[in-house]
């Protein structure tokens, strides 16, 4: 009988964990894509003088407006078109937003495929490619594909890129989703206590730990 209660308790704690991630994860994606957009705006200042950059910027803005008005399918099509046509930095940003629009439109499988294409593109900037891989892993976690998410994050979480700590956070949640709560908590405790980890990730890790088992060790 005790085992049954333990299983129920584990299910409740895991549900709380995933709800907490859903609450912060959606906001996190918006922040990340916004950060990349801001970075992209600084790359190649001379290109901003070209008509093509101005035209791509206008197309990107129109596609964003479709997203904001809830027309996710049309937005995904517009971003896809821009991603395939653009030779400026907006092409890769459009590919990111296409996947996000597919997610918002309730098509996670297509979104994962879109992230995978960008992550595997030889022409993609390595920073954007890694971000696409991390965002794709978020969706894998949301779909309950924790082992796939862990495998996808392994190299990034062990590397030196700008998304390594975010990759560790999602990896920890994925590990916990497999049922290995101790290993997942250990990784979250590292993230919560290491001053080198970005403040937002430290805070989320601490809150997840507190929600999941009360206190930090």
Per-residue model confidence as pLDDT tens digits over 67-106: 889 999 999 999 999 999 887 778 898 999 999 999 999 9
> Which H helix or E strand runs over 73?
helix 72-85
CA distance 15 to 3: 18
Pair 205, 195: CB distance under 8 Å: no
CA distance 208 to 17: 6
CA distance 124 to 217: 41
Pair 35, 135: CB distance under 8 Å: no
Tokens of 201: 């990730």
Sequence-ordered list of residues with C-beta below 8 angstroms from that of 208, at least 6 positions apart, any chain = 17, 20, 21, 173, 188
What is the pLDDT at residue 28? 53
Q: pLDDT tens across 171-208, in order?
A: 999 999 999 999 999 999 999 999 999 999 999 999 99
Tokens of 193: 């206590």
Rounded to two decimals, the pTM is 0.75
Angle at the Cα of 170 from the Cα atoms of 166 and 174, rounded to 5 degrees: 165
> Could you tell me the residue ranges of all domains in the chain?
1-42+146-217
What is the pLDDT at residue 192? 95
Quick one: average pLDDT of 21-37? 51
What is the pLDDT at residue 54? 81
Q: pLDDT tens across 136-156, in order?
A: 999 999 999 999 999 999 999
What is the pLDDT at residue 56? 84
């Amino acid at each position: 009988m005790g085992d049954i209660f333990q299983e129920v308790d584990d299910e409740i704690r895991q549900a709380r964990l995933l709800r907490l991630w859903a609450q912060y994860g959606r906001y996190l994606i918006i922040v990340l894509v916004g950060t990349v957009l801001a970075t992209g705006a600084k790359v190649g200042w001379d290109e901003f003088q070209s008509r093509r950059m101005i035209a791509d910027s206008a197309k990107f803005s129109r596609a964003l407006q479709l997203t904001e008005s809830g027309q996710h399918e049309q937005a995904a099509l517009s971003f896809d078109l821009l991603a395939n046509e653009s030779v400026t930095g907006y092409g890769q940003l459009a590919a990111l937003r296409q996947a996000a629009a597919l997610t918002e439109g309730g098509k996670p499988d297509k979104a994962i495929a879109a992230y995978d294409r960008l992550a595997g593109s030889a022409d993609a900037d390595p920073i954007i490619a890694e971000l696409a891989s991390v965002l794709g892993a978020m969706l894998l976690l949301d779909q309950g594909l924790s082992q796939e998410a862990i495998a996808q994050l392994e190299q990034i979480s062990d590397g030196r890129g700008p998304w390594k700590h975010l990759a560790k956070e999602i990896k920890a949640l994925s590990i916990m989703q497999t049922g290995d709560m101790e290993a997942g908590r250990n990784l979250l405790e590292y993230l919560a206590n290491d001053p080198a980890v970005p403040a937002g990730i430290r805070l989320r890790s601490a809150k997840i730990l507190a929600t999941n088992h009360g206190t930090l060790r």
